[in-house]
Amino acid sequence: MRIHMIRHLILLAVLLGTLSAMADNSLAPEPCLPVPTPQQVAWQQLETYAFIHFGPNTFNDKEWGYGDAPASSFNPTRLDCEQWVQTLVKGGMKGVILTCKHHDGFCLWHTQYTDYNVANSPFKRDVVKELSDACKKYGIKFGVYLSPWDRHQASYGTQEYVTYYYNQLTELMTQYGDVFEVWFDGANGGDGWYGGASEKREIDRSTYYNYPKAWGIVNRLQPDAVIFSDGGPGCRWVGNEKGYANATNWALLRIKEVYPGYPQYEELQSGHADGDGWCAAECNTSIRPGWFYHESEDDKVKTVDELTDLYYRSVGHNGTFLLNFPVDKEGLIHPTDSATLVAWRERIDHEMGNNLLKGAKFTASDTRNKQFSSSMMGDDNWETYWAASDGVTAADIIIKTKKDVTLDRIMLQEYIPLGQRVKAFVIEYKTCCGKWVPVIVDEETTTIGYKRIVRFNEKTASEWRIRILDARACPCINNIEGYHS
């Protein structure tokens, strides 16, 4: 009896302790699940990185080779991975993902598992090695694309091929240093059945590759690598190849529902508001119409204006931007593409280079523990953030500048290590007659996530207000900046 009473007292004490901890707003907010891993946060902070599509397709004017192009056709005359990486660095790219093997099965590294590789081409040298070395030399990240679908291997469609695929993945994960991302392409023929040029080999891509096993290999050998596929687990395809995410974009996904080849892929443009897994969107597109180089597309390179718009709709919509460069037949990034990349980066730096809200006074209608210092916003310390009290899911942040400023962009960031919370917000400015008026935005202002950049018709004011209208839990904002483009 006495033991029972003591047990009850202990339980009561624990419960009271928990309640008081919950109500104690001096503590950091509880995470709002799901939350990202530190690797996913670091990955999202890269923001912009490059894709390189290169292989026999480059020399045979194809996008999807059948796997029958002779290795001798791979013959770049001036291949220079340092030129690629130096160009990408100039263009502000933080990493590069190479098609080590595309659907045609040709391998750009010295694999021991097939002769259909670069060692047997006139070029001979290991391209994966040269690129990963160049990345180390110039300080950007290196990533791997290894197509599961293989139109060259005779064993494709059998279990033997799957073992071959794992072996190749293991080579790439162990021989080239750190890998920041591994790309598992969901493409698998029109209906998942093409073998080589003229044959059919049925596979069920949701089971054939046993993806969890492949992902296990990556996790074991490259624990910091983020795994891309249509549905993650590290990051997800954005559901289009045009390089943008929807304005409403959750980093959340009903993770067990989405698999490579997921037919309702359009949902991926916004993610799932009720998702139970953290899986932010990667927005991929090519700087030209094709992924591989075609001379006929030399005059079809995307313009700086188009790329700038995509930046706002990818990075500015809580995604990352993966921009592809089709390396040309010489083995170089084409001069038009590199000039466009550098000009695009200069444009972004110009439009977002001068934070006009720096030094402004920030206050809020509700602040957890009353600790809100204006210096938390627009500083370089990503770890400091404003948060509302527990249970408060709507609050205003008011920004006063010393004198009038003219803005047409506002950047908002949530402190995502504690989850993605905000569901709806508006941005307002105070008119000269003291009225709060929303700035005109031609897209929804719903989610924020890691980064939301809102573009609007320029407004001049010395008071601005971010009204958070609804959130999944008390909002945590770690950055607000304002720009005039």
* Binding residues for ligand FUL (CB under 6 A): 63, 185, 187, 284, 291
Element (H, E) at 76: none
Q: For residue 308, give the nearest of 270, 269, 349 by alpha carbon.
A: 349
Q: Which residue's Cβ has the minimum distance to ligand FUL?
A: 187
Q: Which is nearer to ligand FUL, 63 or 257 (CB)?
A: 63
Q: Using CA atoms, how far apart are residues 234 and 225, in angstroms rounded to an integer?
A: 8
**Token pair for 309:** 């718009």
The distance of closest approach from Cβ of residue 63 to ligand FUL in the complex, given in angstroms and rounded to an integer, is 6
The distance of closest approach from Cβ of residue 296 to ligand FUL in the complex, given in angstroms and rounded to an integer, is 17
Q: Which is nearer to ligand FUL, 48 or 284 (CB)?
A: 284
The distance of closest approach from Cβ of residue 48 to ligand FUL in the complex, given in angstroms and rounded to an integer, is 16
The phi, psi pair for 166, rounded to 5°, reads -60, -40
Q: Using CA atoms, how far apart are residues 391 and 102, in angstroms rounded to an integer?
A: 50
DSSP readout, 375-431? GGSSSS-TT--EEPPTT---EEEEEEEEEEEEEEEEEEEE-GGG---EEEEEEEEE-
Q: Which is nearer to ligand FUL, 44 or 284 (CB)?
A: 284
C-alpha pair distances (Å), 257 with each of 208, 211, 231, 433, 469: 17, 14, 8, 52, 30
Could you tell me if 444 and 313 are in contact, meaning their C-beta atoms sit under 8 angstroms apart? no
* H helix runs in 271-424, sequence order: 304-314, 335-351
Q: For residue 329, give the nearest of 105, 61, 117, 113 by alpha carbon.
A: 61
The distance of closest approach from Cβ of residue 225 to ligand FUL in the complex, given in angstroms and rounded to an integer, is 18
- CA-based radius of gyration for the chain: 25
The distance of closest approach from Cβ of residue 147 to ligand FUL in the complex, given in angstroms and rounded to an integer, is 7
**Token pair for 239:** 């559901």
Q: Which is nearer to ligand FUL, 234 or 475 (CB)?
A: 234
Q: For residue 127, give the nearest of 217, 52, 59 by alpha carbon.
A: 52
* H helix runs in 247-334, sequence order: 304-314
The distance of closest approach from Cβ of residue 329 to ligand FUL in the complex, given in angstroms and rounded to an integer, is 18
DSSP state of 270: T
Q: Which is nearer to ligand FUL, 328 or 351 (CB)?
A: 328
Q: Which is nearer to ligand FUL, 161 or 291 (CB)?
A: 291
Q: Which is nearer to ligand FUL, 171 or 185 (CB)?
A: 185
Q: Which is nearer to ligand FUL, 121 or 284 (CB)?
A: 284
Q: Which is nearer to ligand FUL, 187 or 273 (CB)?
A: 187
The distance of closest approach from Cβ of residue 155 to ligand FUL in the complex, given in angstroms and rounded to an integer, is 21
The distance of closest approach from Cβ of residue 364 to ligand FUL in the complex, given in angstroms and rounded to an integer, is 43
Q: Using CA atoms, how far apart are residues 342 and 336, in angstroms rounded to an integer?
A: 10
Q: Which is nearer to ligand FUL, 29 or 55 (CB)?
A: 55
Q: Which residues pair with 376 in a beta bridge?
A: none
The distance of closest approach from Cβ of residue 181 to ligand FUL in the complex, given in angstroms and rounded to an integer, is 13
- Residues ≥6 apart with Cβ < 8 Å to 41: 416, 417, 450
The distance of closest approach from Cβ of residue 319 to ligand FUL in the complex, given in angstroms and rounded to an integer, is 15
- Residues ≥6 apart with Cβ < 8 Å to 1: none
